[in-house]
């Protein structure tokens, strides 16, 4: 079914407030989730609400976190999340990184001891809206077999990037370092749909098209994706002094405990490297150049990174955001959660 963006956000916010978040934090979490749904990334949108609500209600998300930000150098800092809602901590940490980059040209801010923060595109977009470049990386559950291995070690370990343009459009990347994000598997499960056989493997290590038989995901481009996962784990785990690699906590293992995840934001101020107007114009030129490239057989056009999500967002603004009926029914119900996730494995159904 389709629902207006404002209504969807309000339904999610109300559920989070009932679970125990304060109004301000519930509003931020709902805003991050509706951003994902509006861009067609439903794996990080409304379908996640019940999981978050259960974790909030059971105490695994600190509803009264003591957030602190400490500058550790001229262009570096640490934001302590106190296991509050990851979306809130990540947003506030990016606000600090933006302020710092305006002063010093570049900012590197570590965010530690947080929960899952949703779509990283939301946070790098914060920077791009301020005419800055944003980069973000973060940890996730061990659920990916390393190249040549048969057991999971790293997570989907996403990477996001955003750069502003003269006319307000944003050149943006938000990708998992696996062939597909785990949230996409969850989305396929919610719709009872098969998945491509290149996304994941079953318990024997063989490719599977059944989202309910997934036992591990696979990295993009074999050893290259595996190496990118290592990089993300070092930057958002080892560097920040939080659990890393196979020690990263499972999303579903114990919803009464905090997850202690790490995330890293990097913000670059183009004015410290080149003329700002020229930079913005050249980003627009990059977009135009890519759109003007002759498409290959089977393609209608070449799009710049982030363009398809922008088109989807514009369509959803006009026609309403599409969400699964079961998710909508949960959102409008009086149920806070159905005890569906606690004490489950990384591949909880």
Domain ranges of the chain: 2-275+311-332, 279-310
Supply the pLDDT for residue 288.
98
Instruction: Give the pLDDT mean for 272-295.
Output: 98
Q: What is the mean pLDDT of the chain?
A: 95
Supply the pLDDT for residue 184.
80
Select which of 42, 44, 116, 337 is catalytic: 116
Nearest CA among 245, 262, 252 for reference residue 344:
252
> What backbone torsions phi and psi does residue 260 show, to the nearest 5 degrees?
60, 40
Confidence band (pLDDT; 50, 70, 90) for 60?
A: very high
∠ CA 335-65-243, rounded to 5°:
95
Name the β-bridge partners of 162: 134, 172
Confidence band (pLDDT; 50, 70, 90) for 347?
A: low
Instruction: Give the pLDDT mean for 43-53.
Output: 95
Q: Which tens digit of pLDDT belongs to each residue from 61-115?
A: 999 999 999 999 999 999 999 999 999 999 999 999 999 999 999 999 999 999 9
CATH of domain 2-275+311-332: 3.30.1370.60
The pTM (predicted TM-score) of the whole model is 0.93
Rounded to whole angstroms, the Cα distance separating 298 from 218 reads 27
- Please check whether residue 194 is in contact with residue 188, taking contact to mean a CB–CB distance below 8 angstroms: yes
Burial 167-184 (b: 16+ CB within 10 A, else e): eebbbbbbbbbbbbbbbb
Confidence band (pLDDT; 50, 70, 90) for 201?
A: confident
Nearest CA among 48, 96, 55 for reference residue 76:
96
Supply the pLDDT for residue 348.
58
Supply the pLDDT for residue 344.
80
Residue 116 appears among annotated catalytic residues: yes
């Amino acid at each position: 079914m389709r629902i207006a963006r404002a209504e969807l956000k309000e339904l999610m916010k109300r559920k989070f407030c009932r679970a125990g978040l304060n109004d301000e934090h519930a509003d931020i979490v709902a805003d991050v989730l509706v951003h994902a749904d509006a861009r067609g990334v439903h794996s990080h949108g409304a379908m996640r609400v019940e999981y978050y609500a259960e974790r909030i209600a059971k105490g695994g998300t600190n509803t009264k976190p003591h957030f602190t930000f400490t500058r550790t150098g001229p262009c570096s800092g640490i934001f302590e999340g106190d296991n509050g809602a990851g979306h809130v901590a990540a947003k506030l940490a990016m606000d600090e990184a933006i302020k710092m980059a305006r002063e010093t040209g570049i900012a590197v801010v570590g965010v530690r001891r947080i929960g899952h923060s949703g779509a990283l595109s939301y946070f790098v977009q914060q920077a791009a809206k301020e005419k800055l470049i944003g980069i973000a990386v973060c940890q996730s559950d061990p659920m990916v077999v390393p190249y040549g291995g048969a057991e999971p070690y790293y997570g989907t370990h996403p990477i996001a990037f955003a750069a502003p343009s003269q006319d307000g459009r944003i050149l943006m990347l938000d990708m998992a370092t696996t062939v597909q994000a785990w949230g996409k598997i969850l989305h396929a499960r919610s719709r009872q749909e098969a998945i491509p056989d290149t996304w994941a493997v079953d318990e024997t290590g063989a490719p599977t098209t059944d989202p309910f038989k997934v036992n591990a995901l696979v990295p993009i481009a074999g050893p290259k994706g595996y190496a990118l996962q290592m990089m993300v784990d070092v930057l958002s785990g080892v560097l920040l002094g939080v659990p890393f690699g196979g020690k990263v906590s499972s999303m579903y293992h114990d919803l009464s405990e905090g997850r202690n995840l790490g995330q890293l934001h990097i913000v670059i101020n183009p004015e410290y490297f080149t003329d700002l107007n020229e930079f913005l114009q050249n980003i627009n030129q990059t977009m135009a150049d890519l759109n003007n490239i002759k498409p290959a057989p089977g393609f209608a056009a070449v799009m710049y990174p982030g363009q398809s999500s922008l088109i989807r967002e514009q369509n959803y603004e006009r026609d309403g955001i599409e969400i699964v009926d079961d998710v909508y029914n949960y959102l409008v119900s009086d149920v806070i959660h159905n005890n569906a996730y606690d004490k489950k494995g990384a591949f909880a159904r």
